Structure 1
Amino acid sequence: MKITIIGPGKLKERYLKDGIAEFVKRLTTYTKLEIIEVSDEKCPENLSPADMEIVKKREGARILSKIHPSSYIITLELEGKQLTSEGLANKIEEITVGGYSHITFIIGGSLGLHSDVRKRSHFKLCFSKMTFPHQMMKLILIEQIYRSFRILKNEPYHK
């Protein structure tokens, strides 16, 4: 099993880097994890809707170029389905039983995902109706992936 996480922007904050590194280390027991950071577009506050679409399209093209063709794609979207931690574990198990050995999670930039990326999605996942910074979402997602593997292996998870 291989899991890839694709998202825009370089992670800069030390506390997020440390948290992600810890869960990446823990996940080595269960899966091969790859994090791909694509460059994000500059996004001034006063963009018109047309300019916002251009920004999303550019970021989306970079994301799409990194997707492995045989991967099961899960996009993180506000319009997606909310799952419990057990539900995410079950979804991962369902995907692998369905014949996929590679899952790609996609996190959008500050303006969200372009429709071209959303169309490629096999499953739209919503972590919350609240909005999180995309850099922080990487840490939250990786923690939940780790928790999913612990659940699937019937191992305790208290941290």
Structure 2
Amino acid sequence: MNIKLITVGKLKEKYLKEGIAEYSKRLSRFCKVQVIELADEKTPENASDAENNQIMLKEGERIKAKIGSRDYVIVLAIEGQQFPSEEFSKKIDTIAINGYSDITFVIGGSLGLSKDIKQRANLKMSFGLLTLPHQLMRLVLVEQIYRAFMIQQGSPYHK
């Protein structure tokens, strides 16, 4: 299985990079992990809705260019479905059973994701109503993917 994480914006904090690298290393026994960082658009201080939509469209085009036609796409969106870790684990297993070998997770920029990227998604997923920095969300997501595989293995990692 191949797991691709497409994110908008650069990861700057060393501790987050180290955490993601650690979980990516742990995941390597289950799948191939690829993290793709895309440039974010500069957002003016008091941008209008139209300007914000244009920014999301530009970022969306960059995202779309990295999604394969046969990828199962999961976007992180506040309005998405929430899962306990056990159900998320079953979901990943079911995706694989249904013949998908490539799962692509997408984390948008500070404004979120364009409508066309959300429409391309096979699943919209939320980690709750809390607002988290996008950089921290990357670490949380990679840890939850690792946890999902450990649950499938019956590991005591998930208690």
> How high is the TM-score relative to the length of structure 2?
0.97
Pair 1:24-2:29 in alignment: no
Superposition RMSD in Å = 1.1
Gaps of 5+ in 1: none
Deviant stretches of 4+, over 4 Å:
none
Distance 1:88 1:58 in 2: 30
SS of aligned partner of 1:75: strand
Comparing 126-135 with 32-41, which one deviates more in the overlay?
126-135
User: Which residue of the partner structure matches residue 50 of structure 2?
Assistant: 50
**Taking every aligned residue pair, what percent have the same amino acid on both sides?**
51
User: Which residue of the partner structure matches residue 4 of structure 1?
Assistant: 4
Gaps of 5+ in 2: none
Distance 2:80 2:107 in 1: 12
Q: CA deviation at 1:158?
A: 5.5
Distance 2:143 2:124 in 1: 18
SS of aligned partner of 1:35: strand
* CA deviation profile, 1:65-84 (whole Å, cap 9, x unmatched): 00011110001011100001
Q: How does 1:95-106 map to 2 (within 5 A)?
A: 95-106=95-106
Equivalent residues of 2:2, 2:31 under 8 A apart: yes
SS of aligned partner of 2:78: strand
User: Which residue of the partner structure matches residue 125 of structure 2?
Assistant: 125
SS of aligned partner of 1:73: strand
Amino acid across the alignment from 2:72 = Y
> How high is the TM-score relative to the length of structure 1?
0.97
Distance 2:68 2:99 in 1: 15
Distance 1:85 1:149 in 2: 10
Equivalent residues of 2:151, 2:158 under 8 A apart: no
Distance 1:45 1:29 in 2: 44
